[in-house]
Structures are given as structure tokens and as C-alpha cells.
Copies of this chain bind each other. A is one copy, B any other.
Amino acid sequence: MPFDPTSLTYDSRGLIPCIAQEATTGEVLMLAWMNRESVARTLETGLVTYWSRSRGEFWVKGATSGHRQHLVALRIDCDRDCLLALVRQEGPACHTGRRSCFFTELRDGVEIDLPEIQPRHPADILGRGAVITIT
């Protein structure tokens, strides 16, 4: 059926959470909020556009930093009250300069600052000329 942004379930503030996930690596980058109009703008422009709760205005991700999120696909959950945006992220998603906002992990009751692990090329792991035989 044709999609209508009003068919989603928004909370009492007119907002719906949207998870941004890097399409190529599967890394979860951030969660932010959208209203009906930012859902429509995201689909129209291909640039992920949130609603900033703190500033009370539309927030085209990366409009000032350049760290834009190019929409690859937009998915809706079974309750229609959460969105998943698969994106191609330019630069870091987090305002701290980290690739993902989720860089703090709990280990044995202690908060750990996760190292920034870059996706690696197989040659960096196995060496150039390495041969893999599929069994």
C-alpha cells in the first residue's frame, strides 16, 4: 500500500524514534527522533532529517558539520512506532567525533570507553596473496 507518514504511531509529543544503522557494516550509529514532517522530508530529500527536541526545529543531520546521513532504506517496525534508517554515513555520526554514539560499554559493572575499531580489509588480517578454500 502507498506509504502515508500519518499512518505511523507517534508519541504524545508527535515524535517517533529512529535508529540509524550504517548500511555497509551494520553498525548502530545513533537514535534520534522524527515527527511526521521530518519523515516526509527524509524520504523526499534522501537526507536523514530528525526533529531536534532541544532546539525545537528540523535537524538535517550534517547540515552544519557535513556529517550527513544518506538514506539507503527506511524500515518500519511491527507496531509502527519505531523506524530503522539504513544510511551511508559521511564522517562520524556522533557529535563527539566518534563513529557511533554507542562507544561506552558496561563490563563487570564498570563503564569502558570502547576503542574505535575500523572495518578491516581481509588482506590486513590474512596478508596479501592469502588463499581461502571454501569447504
A37 neighbours in B (Cβ, 8 Å): none
Given contacts A31-B17, A98-B78, A130-B133, are A73 and B109 in contact (CB under 8 A)? Answer: no
The tally of residues in A whose CB lies under 8 Å from a CB in B reads 49
Q: Are A104 and B82 in contact (CB under 8 A)?
A: no
Binary interface profile of A, 112-125, with partner B (CB < 8 Å = 1, else 0)? 00100000001100
A103 to chain B, nearest CB (A): 7
Q: Are B105 and A77 in contact (CB under 8 A)?
A: no
A residues within 8 Å of B by Cβ? 1-3, 17, 19, 21, 25-28, 30-31, 43, 73-79, 82, 84, 94-96, 98, 101-107, 109-111, 114, 122-123, 126-135
